[in-house]
């Protein structure tokens, strides 16, 4: 399957919606440029789940230093980070 920015955003959002539901929150209204931690839709443990899934699904090991808002703070940034790491347009 070809990875595009749009498909990545959709897949990551679906995961966030799933994680948020575990604690009774609804993340279906999350916008691509919303800063995910600032929305309060998923907590630290949820973010850990998200990042573990992200690393495994897209096969991009992350270092602790890369876990920044600039790199991964929103759906758009997470999608663009995958494309950059895989040298995809």
Task: Spell 7-37 as b/e; 16+ CB within 10 A means b.
Answer: ebbebbbebbbebbeeeebebeebebebebb
Q: What are phi and psi of 69, to 5 degrees?
A: -60, -40
C-beta closer to other proteins: residue 4 or 48: 48
Q: What's the closest the beta carbon of residue 24 comes to other proteins, in angstroms?
A: 9
Q: Which residues lie near other proteins (CB under 8 A)?
A: 23, 37, 43-49, 51-52, 55-56, 62, 64, 67-73
Tokens of 53: 């899934």
| Minimum CB distance to other proteins, residue 42 (Å) | 10
- Smallest distance, other proteins to C-beta of residue 72, A: 5
């Amino acid at each position: 399957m070809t990875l595009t920015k749009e498909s990545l955003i959709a897949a990551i959002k679906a995961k966030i919606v799933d994680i948020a539901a575990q604690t009774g929150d609804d993340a279906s209204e999350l916008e691509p440029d919303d800063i995910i931690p600032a929305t309060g839709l998923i907590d630290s443990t949820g973010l850990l789940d998200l990042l573990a899934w992200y690393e495994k699904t897209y096969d991009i090991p992350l270092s602790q230093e890369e876990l920044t808002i600039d790199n991964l703070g929103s759906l758009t940034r997470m999608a663009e980070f995958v494309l950059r790491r895989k040298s995809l347009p």
